[in-house]
Structure 1
């Protein structure tokens, strides 16, 4: 680990002197990620206002100090001392700026503004309680508001892009602090122009919601059935939120410190999109392995694929994982990292896992699906100090 320079020490002291910043020493990231994995950074700054977040990042960037901006920690795989080619003794060569600005403002007409550090599900709950519809299908998703446009977070047939009004972004290269329209963000399935690079820092997010208290049109078949509604129907947002939380809890996807099935990064692999021209070959491999009936029933949805502008077919990662032979709870009770006992799309820490254990299981699952069906799964989380071999 690189020793802090005198200038870095001075910068940290000056930031710590602010009333809206706290400097913590020897703060392991395993205490701040939902996977409970991660080593200890050089320093940990808790920034409690948008001004503090911006100033911390600007000051450290100017001094060329490596920075990890930390939101809710729900979508991170962080190296620790178990990953020998990445870090030594679990020490991480960067300073963490934890985004903890949490203000939320809800206007009667449906305009909602939230600072990046606000807890996402707190925002959803408050909008539903205020009689606003639009976010209810995204209930129970862990993490912070600032991460939602970066990932274009989605669940149960709704994506953030559908209700996003604009995003306040600090450009760490130019220094500009400005509001960007959704059309400027390159929003696609579980991604945006903000994902995969550190140049844009989200400070605030605005949404346009339905002031009539009704949900987005119910698009997801399982949710519609549980609601007793037709697909495309709008229902009371509070009822939709209630059922979504029940569905997520049944899959171990609502955070619960006492339930190791929730010690995860959520759905670990994105649903793969294959070019339309390659879909028949995939279906043929499924038929060969599982039979014609399984191939016909395989979940598949026509989409525009992966930013290429070409037609694609979106498949179900969970379905592929299960049909490749990986069952709930794989590889068994003795393993420190297992697939969730409730569904196969979450890789879960059973209480004593290390980052190397997660990497090993993720590689095994990805290779198994590729060998069986010729489909490559891509992980959704952001990787810090480590990688999944072969993943760009």
Structure 2
């Protein structure tokens, strides 16, 4: 992994602990992006002639990487646009279960559209809280982040399988933006009906790309009858009227989606299982060190498994002090968020811990 760090120029000047905010651009992806735009530069409109054929290869790459058919893989500039499109097509009488203090792109998007809402608390008993909320409120939809963006608390994927088995009519929609690219994952065998992700964080795809994955027949089930009726009564090209067109309306940027495809191939060459092992090792090390400093909340400490996102006790002054030392983090919630990817090392964590010792 240390050899890979040379591809990420930011790492030569900074201790970068902020992938949960933005993944890094790397040398070979920059080369790809420059070649892409050179082709556009010399090709003009002829460059666009292969657009749809190319985007089909992107759908196949995403589907292969995450275990979903290309037909059920939708391209979208980001998770939020895809999620809002889903919500716009659902009946507002449906009740939606949310996690308290989840990402605003989920919770505010649901609340401002007039759905009836209920909540489950995010703490050390997260899965039990969800199960009890489903039994009590009987929601039609459960929408949530797989990893909480402030605390890093991650929902148990096996729990989601069991939840779906016990509640087959519950539509489970997951935002995986803080998850995809950190663990080996097969959507087809998961308990999730719809999974969405923006590609600019752990997938290192840069900005302006994302995707939505749908289990078989789910895309059809959530498409409004008015849309399907209108589509059946026109002779427009199917690219304007198929089930994906609600999400893929307008021209999709081959620069952005090509960047995502390139990064999926880059991650595959490293090996996602290798990346997962590296992240897990860093996460365990960081959790131990930060626990020893009494900088983590009890809800995080008591969880058996955790992501590589941690929110440590700290304020603006501490954040500024770390930034002055070129330790890049984020202010989130009531503390300072750090996040570790495969290009991080134990030395990065040690440097953070050493600075925190000095600060105290």
Q: Same fold (TM over 0.5)?
A: no
TM-score (normalizing by structure 1):
0.27
More helix by share: 2
TM-score (normalizing by structure 2):
0.29
Greater relative contact order (CA < 8 Å, ≥ 6 in sequence) = 2
